[in-house]
Structure 1
Amino acid sequence: MNNSKFFITAFLLVILIIGLSACGNSSDDKVSIDNQIEDDEISESTDTFSSEPPNNTDKEVSTENENLQEDSIEDTVSKIEARKKEFIEKLDNIQKELDALPEKKDSDEGVTNAMKNYYGISYEMYDKALNEIYALLKEKLSPETMDTLKTEQIKWIEQKEDTANEERKKYEGGTFENVAYYISTYESTKERCYELVNEYMTD
């Protein structure tokens, strides 16, 4: 009877020792896995923050910056280069053509019909030149400069018409009424052509 109690006690002790040993190994395994996860997370985060972009990415960014700088330089164009002399000569030649017209002599002598015809033609020729100049500026100047010019041009057109109508009213009802209008529009338009060339073109 005593022997059987001894064997039972010894058996229970053995089982207890084996159980404790197994628990210890399981705990060690769990600690080891947690450490690996932490190490992996640290490694991943380090890779994420310390990784450098490839060299070709740096080149692409640099190229994009250069292109943006070039675009901004182009966008700030406020004058057309090497066209001023060309257009001044064109405008001067218009006046030479007008001076050669048969109507010029009679106009200078004060013949009303000749004056009306001469200054009407003069206005049309300079108005055509003004449209050509404006179209070129619109094509070549930066949007910012062109916005400013557009505002100025609208004001100028209003002023040109107001001035011409005031001149016409001075002779309202008379034969010189339309002549006064044409003379005014011719002078204003011719002057505006030279202004645009001098202000927005270079030699």
Structure 2
Amino acid sequence: MGNNRKLLVGMLTVLFIILAACGNSSKESSATLDNQSKNNNSAQNTNDEPAKTNSKENSSYTSNHDKGENDTDAQTSTSKNKAEKEDDSRTNNTQASLKEEYLNKLNDTKKKIEEERSNLKDDSTYALKNVEGDRFDALDGLLNEVYEVLNKQLPSEEMTKLRREERGWINYRDKAAKKASLKYKGGTMEQLEYTAVENDLTEKRCYELVGNYMK
């Protein structure tokens, strides 16, 4: 009976020790799991921070990149507008200089003919015909040059209208010269008068075209 009691006490003692050990093991396991969970959460938060940082950096880069493109577009637009204004200015200056150039040519031609008339060796019809012949060549050449310039400057519709007007003017000039020469019909002055009137009207027409149409 005493032996049985000792055996029972021993078994209870072993069982108690086993239960105590199991309880400690369970607590340790729970603590380990808690620590692992905390470590994982900490690592996840750490990984999220660079992602957020990268997101901000990317956002900043995109914003700066767009800003840079907008600045470039603005600079390109400004440069383009500036270039267009400079081109328009050069065009206007060229046109103004052409108008001035042809007015000077007409004035020089007129002055040259007047000097030639003043320095005639004689006042014969032959000498006067030579002067008017030189005048015709100079004025006819200038008239053609003026038309070439206007053909480049004027819109096609306006130039077409001017050509029709010019054909009417040529008809008027020839008739006016013929009518003026008839008072010397059959005489040596008939051809001279015809050329002189023709030249007068051509000179006047050149000034009109340069002054009214050339830009």
Tell me the TM-score normalised to structure 2 length: 0.53
Instruction: Name the residue aligned to 1:40.
Output: 54
> Which of 18, 33, 36 is residue 4 of structure 1 equivalent to?
18
**Structure 1 contact 88–194 (Cα < 8 Å) conserved:** yes
> Which of 121, 135, 141 is residue 128 of structure 1 equivalent to?
141
**Greater relative contact order, per chain length (Cα 8 Å cut-off, separation 6+):** 1
Moved more, 44-53 or 125-134: 44-53
Instruction: Name the residue aligned to 2:44.
Output: 30
Q: CA 1:124 to 1:155, structure 2 compared with 1: closer, same or farther past 3 Å?
A: farther
Gaps of 5+ in 1: 109-113
Gaps of 5+ in 2: 1-13, 186-190
**Structure 2 contact 174–198 (Cα < 8 Å) conserved:** no
> Which of 57, 60, 80 is residue 97 of structure 2 equivalent to?
80
Q: CA 1:12 to 1:185, structure 2 compared with 1: closer, same or farther past 3 Å?
A: farther
Give the distance between the partners of 2:175 and 2:85, measured in 1 at CA: 54
Q: CA 1:199 to 1:61, structure 2 compared with 1: closer, same or farther past 3 Å?
A: same
Across the aligned residues of Structure 1 and Structure 2, the Cα RMSD in angstroms comes to 5.0
Which string of whole-angstrom CA distances, capped at 9 and with x for unpartnered residues, describes residues 3-45 of structure 1?
2233233223212211121111111221222122212322343
**Structure 1 contact 133–193 (Cα < 8 Å) conserved:** yes
Give the Å deviation of 1:201.
7.9
Give the Å deviation of 1:76.
3.3
Q: Summarize the alignment of residues 147-158 of structure 1 with structure 2, pairs less than 5 Å apart.
A: 147-148=154-155, 151-158=157-164
Give the distance between the partners of 2:103 and 2:62, measured in 1 at CA: 61
Percent sequence identity is 18
**Structure 1 contact 123–182 (Cα < 8 Å) conserved:** yes
Point out the structure with the larger helix share.
2
> Which of 89, 104, 108 is residue 90 of structure 1 equivalent to?
108
Structure having the higher Rg: 2
**Structure 2 contact 173–198 (Cα < 8 Å) conserved:** no
> Which of 177, 189, 203 is residue 190 of structure 1 equivalent to?
203
